[in-house]
């Protein structure tokens, strides 16, 4: 046994996928590259990332590719009322609950080529590998491409998985975004708002849920560890904030007479940073979206619409921080003589991965010669919706320099294939 193989067996050195790996690494790569064409900027390249926001034409094109590849793997893709795409592979005992695994293929604007895509396409690769090995698992297998995980559209993420888990917010189906109703957007992707309740499944409908995903942080890359085993996923609170001032002439309105909505929004942006960094911990706060109205160089901004997003493993902490942010927003509105609307946009509870499934991922990784590390997820995932219905676990692979939600998002091809191989081994064991 070579030294490298010995070290790999000990889990010290990642063993690049041997040529005999059942995962077809080159097909996974070429499909990730092909999917990246859906939402690529005109004249761009793979390195320019994607804009494949849910319900967009690019999203629809990406979903069509996923369904084509599911069919090629012998599945018969079905779209539920929430637009989720499911593909089921029979097991030897059809009475058993399936092992469910997958991810999403919608992206943020100017996003990366791996967030969600790796987990969704690797799920198809797992089916292809089992077909090639003529393995029939005892449990049925079900793979999924979730609708609107990112929640850029309608400012509320994990839409498809929340619909399945019965976690849609009251009135959520009446939302309108960029002039399109949630109902019409769903119709575009084959969903049906009128039957949205039919997407809901009962708790325990699956035996276990697994999701392979890029870490989107820098821990694994920095420590040169090929596989991450997620311990838990953060809680995420999003607020919609509006400051209403008074639009007026930029040249003739004295500074003292202004009701400048952007001044108020700017002060709140700095305040959020101060409040979130004002105590120890790994909590984060982001002002990611801001709309200035009328957004003209020679007009004092009359209105600003913005989002405040807070995240931490502790839902209690971000609830408390959200209260502090709202208090500061009211003080700023009074000081700038602007009117404030401060609304809770969405709350996604934190979720713990199942310890037994974490061990299963570690054992699968060790068998393949991959070192592992347990870590929390600062990113939200559909797995946190599935955690409300049963046991879930996530497999991470390194993000180079921890960059994500950016065209610079990058996971090495070898790490993509490693992740898919661990997903295959984990699913095979869980379904046996
Ligand atoms: O925003 C997130 O954490 C995830 O990438 N949707
Ligand atoms: Mn994601
Ligand atoms: Mn994302």
C-alpha distances out from residue 305 to 84, 104, 292, 301, Å: 30, 28, 7, 11
List pLDDT tens digits, range 243-264: 999 999 999 999 999 999 999 9
| Residue in 199, 179, 176, 287 with CA at minimum distance from that of residue 241 | 287
Between the CA of 116 and the centroid of ligand 3 the distance, in Å, is 7
How far are the Cα atoms of 148, 228, 242, 420 from residue 365, in angstroms, in the given order?
30, 10, 48, 11
Tokens of 426: 């984990």
Rounded Cα–Cα distance for residues 390 and 388 (Å): 6
- Tell me which residue of 167, 204, 47 sits closest to 113, measured CA to CA: 47
**What's the 107 CA to ligand 3 centre distance in angstroms?**
6
Hey, whose CA ends up nearest to atom 6 of ligand 1?
A: 150
Distance 202 CA to ligand 3 centre (A): 27
| CA 152 to ligand 1 center in whole angstroms | 10
Specify the ligand 1 atom closest to the Cα of 150: 6
Ligand number, closest to the Cα atom of 107 = 3
Query: What pLDDT band is residue 21 in, cutting at 50, 70 and 90?
Result: confident
d(CA 48, CA 407) in angstroms, rounded, equals 5
State the distance from the centre of ligand 3 to the C-alpha of 118, rounded, in angstroms: 12
> Among 106, 150, 236, which is best to mutate for testing ligand 1, by the most ligand atoms less than 8 A from CB?
150
CB 258 within 8 A of CB 243: no
User: Which of 54, 104, 149, 399 best tests ligand 1's pocket when mutated (most atoms within 8 Å of CB)?
Assistant: 149
Closest approach atom of ligand 1 to CA 379: 3
Question: What is the three-class DSSP state of 176?
Answer: strand
Residue 204 half-sphere exposure toward CB, CA atoms < 13 A: 1
Question: 3-state DSSP call for residue 130?
Answer: helix
Give per-residue pLDDT as tens, 261-298: 999 999 999 999 999 999 999 999 999 999 999 999 99
Residues with a beta carbon under 5 angstroms from ion ligand 3:
115
Sign of torsion over alpha carbons 407, 411, 413, 418: negative
Instruction: Report the alpha-carbon distance of residue 330 to residue 138 in Å, rounded.
Output: 58
Cis link prior to 371 (omega < 30° from 0)?
Answer: no
For 197-202, the CB contacts below 8 A with 24+ separation are: 197/81, 198/80, 198/81, 199/80, 199/81, 199/82, 199/84, 199/160, 199/163, 199/164, 200/163, 200/164, 200/165, 200/166, 201/164, 201/165, 201/389
* pLDDT the model gives residue 3: 42
1 pLDDT above the threshold of 70: no
- Residue 16: what pLDDT? 46
**Residue of 53, 108, 113 best suited for mutating to test ligand 1, as the one with most atoms within 8 Å of CB:** 108
Residues in contact with ligand 1 (CB, 6 Å cut-off)? 115, 149-150, 157, 379-380
Confidence of residue 370 (pLDDT cuts 50, 70, 90): very high
What is the helix (H) or strand (E) element at residue 239, kind and residue range?
strand 235-244
Q: Name the nearest CA neighbour of 311 among 380, 395, 392.
A: 380
Q: What is the CA(150)–ligand 3 centre distance, in A?
A: 5
DSSP 36: T
Query: Crossing angle for the helix pair 413-430 and 355-368, nearest 10 degrees?
Result: 120
How confident is the model over 82-109, as pLDDT tens digits? 999 999 999 999 999 999 999 999 999 9
- Res 413 pLDDT > 80: yes
- CB of 223 closer than 8 Å to CB of 375: no
């Amino acid at each position: 046994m070579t030294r490298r193989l010995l070290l790999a067996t000990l889990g010290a050195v990642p063993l690049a996928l041997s040529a005999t790996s059942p995962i077809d690494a080159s097909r996974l790569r070429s499909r990730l590259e092909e999917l990246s064409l859906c939402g690529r900027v005109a004249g761009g390249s793979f390195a320019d990332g994607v804009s494949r926001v849910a319900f967009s034409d690019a999203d629809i094109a990406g979903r069509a590719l996923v369904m084509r590849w599911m069919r090629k793997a012998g599945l018969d893709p079905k779209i539920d009322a929430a637009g989720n795409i499911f593909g089921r592979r029979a097991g030897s005992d059809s009475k058993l609950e399936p092992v469910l695994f997958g991810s999403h293929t919608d992206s943020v604007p100017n996003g990366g080529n791996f967030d969600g895509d790796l987990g969704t396409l690797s799920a198809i690769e797992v089916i292809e590998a089992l077909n090639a090995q003529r393995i029939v698992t005892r449990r049925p297998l079900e793979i999924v491409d979730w609708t609107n995980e990112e929640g850029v559209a309608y400012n509320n993420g994990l839409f498809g998985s929340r619909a399945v888990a019965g976690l849609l917010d009251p009135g959520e189906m009446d939302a309108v975004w960029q002039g399109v109703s949630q109902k019409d957007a769903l119709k575009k992707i084959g969903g049906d708002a009128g039957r949205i309740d039919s997407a809901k499944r009962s708790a325990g409908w699956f035996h276990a849920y697994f999701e392979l995903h890029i870490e989107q942080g820098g821990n694994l890359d920095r420590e040169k560890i090929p596989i991450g085993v997620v311990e838990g996923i953060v809680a995420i609170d999003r607020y919609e904030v509006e400051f209403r001032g008074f639009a007026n002439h930029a040249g003739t309105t004295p500074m003292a007479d202004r009701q400048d909505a952007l001044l108020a929004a700017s002060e709140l942006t700095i305040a959020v940073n101060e409040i979130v960094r004002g105590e120890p911990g790994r909590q984060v706060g982001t002002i990611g979206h801001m709309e200035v109205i009328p957004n003209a160089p020679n007009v004092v901004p009359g209105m600003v619409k913005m989002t405040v997003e807070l995240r931490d493993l502790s839902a209690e902490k971000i609830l408390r921080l959200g209260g502090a942010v709202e208090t500061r927003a009211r003080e700023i509105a009074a000081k700038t003589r602007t009117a404030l609307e401060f609304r809770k946009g969405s709350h996604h509870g934190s979720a713990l991965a199942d310890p037994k499934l974490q061990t299963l991922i570690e054992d699968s990784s060790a068998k393949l010669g991959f070192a592992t590390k347990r870590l929390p997820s600062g990113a939200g995932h559909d797995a946190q919706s599935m955690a409300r219905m049963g046991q879930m676990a996530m497999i991470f692979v390194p993000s180079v320099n921890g960059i994500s939600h950016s065209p610079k998002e990058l996971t090495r091809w070898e790490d993509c294939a490693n992740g898919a191989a661990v997903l295959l081994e984990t699913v095979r064991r869980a379904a046996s």
